[in-house]
Amino acid sequence: MSTNYEAFHQALKSAKHIATLCGAGLSAESGIPTFRGEGGWWRNYKATELATLSAFKRNPSRIWEFYNYRRGLVLQKTANKAHKALVDFENKILSQKPQTQTFTVITQNVDGISSNLKNYIEMHGNLFRTRCMQCGDIEENRDFPICEGLKGTENSKFDIDLPIEKLPACTKCKGLLRPDVVWFNELLDPKITSKIQVELDRCDLLLVIGTSGFVYPAAGYSEYVRSRGGKIAIFNIENTGNADFKFIGPCGETLPQALQV
Ligand code: BV8
Ligand code: ZN
């Protein structure tokens, strides 16, 4: 396992298909809390208990208060040096004449901060899209608060139990909207998982950036790439997991240096 940038730069130059698997740590330096540790709690619920269909069905108001709070938080945040490094590196690859390498960013994050990338796969959906529980209509929506009834609830310590008719409603059929994200125990969009499979099947260098590797199927990706002979580089503040390259520290510092951007 190497922690030296020179060796990594060699591997980066000789790789044909470079991909990333990003997690909440990519956005941590933008001030967006991660799921582990203090960031994983909201009021006194664990995020993993709130990000489920059953929690939404049981108490749609509480879950919309949670997502409205996260939307409001993300809307005030900006991209950090790690997000910028991914964009700059993608531009570098795309301006190769002829293009001899591919670069694809696969992210678990739903904050949409990297959406200015060209080859970008959001595995778990996006906070700023809604989906109708009735007719399935999907809309972009960056309103904050997302509905009148949720105004000013983002800092309240207690649930406000809005009645369903006051929660976000579909403009087409008036049905109850949900955030267009993948909740725990929900299947990922098969169109997305097949795009990811194409990338994993050809990836010879996977950058695993700011993820604790708990959540499946993302958590299985580096094993899969390694089993096919691909190399793994971990960018994390914790020294976890095994990899060919490890850069321990804030990815806002390590990634620009590793990608030479
Ligand atoms: C599914 C959207 C089929 C919602 C999210 C196999 C084994 C065990 C369990 C399962 C399995 N297969 C399926 C499961 C169940 C489940 C699962 O994995 N559970 C876990 C908890 C064990 N998986 C699913 O349900 C998935 N669906 O598999 O469908 C199926 C269907 C039914 C039944 C079975 C199977 C769907 C999972 C998607 C869940 N949705 N997000 C929302 O966000 O509201 S997951 C959500 O949490 C995030 O998207 C992200 O994926 C995850 C958090 O993980 P990380 O991103 O890694 O963040 P975390 O805070 O954990 O870590 C941050 C890291 O950054 C840390 O390592 C830290 O050290 C580091 N860091 C911090 N600062 C920095 C830094 N690094 C660098 N620089 C810094 N500055
Ligand atoms: Zn509808």
- 143 with 256, same domain: the answer is no
Q: Which residues of 114-141 are buried (b: 16+ CB within 10 A; e: fewer)?
A: beebeebbbbbbbbbbbbbbeeeeeeeb
pTM over 0.85: yes
User: Rounded CA gap, 35 and 49, in Å?
Assistant: 11
**Residue matched to tokens 């199927």:** 217
pLDDT tens for each residue of 97-119: 999 999 999 999 999 999 899 99
Residues paired with residue 106 on neighbouring β-strands, in sequence order: 21, 121
Cis peptide bond upstream of 145, omega within 30: yes
Please tell me whether residue 237 adopts helix, strand or coil conformation: coil
Q: At 167, which CATH number?
A: 3.30.1600.10
Range of the domain at 234: 1-31+79-124+188-261
pLDDT tens for each residue of 135-191: 999 999 999 999 999 999 988 889 999 999 999 999 999 999 999 999 999 999 999
Ligand 2 centroid distance, CA of 195 (Å): 28
Binding residues for NAD(+): 23-42, 108-111, 210-212, 251
Domain end (from 116, 151, 181): 181
pLDDT tens for each residue of 214-251: 999 999 999 999 999 999 999 999 998 889 999 999 99
pLDDT at 48 over 90: no
Q: Domains in the chain: how many in total? A: 2
Binding residues: 23-42, 67, 70, 108-111, 132, 135, 170, 173, 210-212, 251
| The length of the chain, given as a count of residues | 261
- 143 with 116, same domain: the answer is no
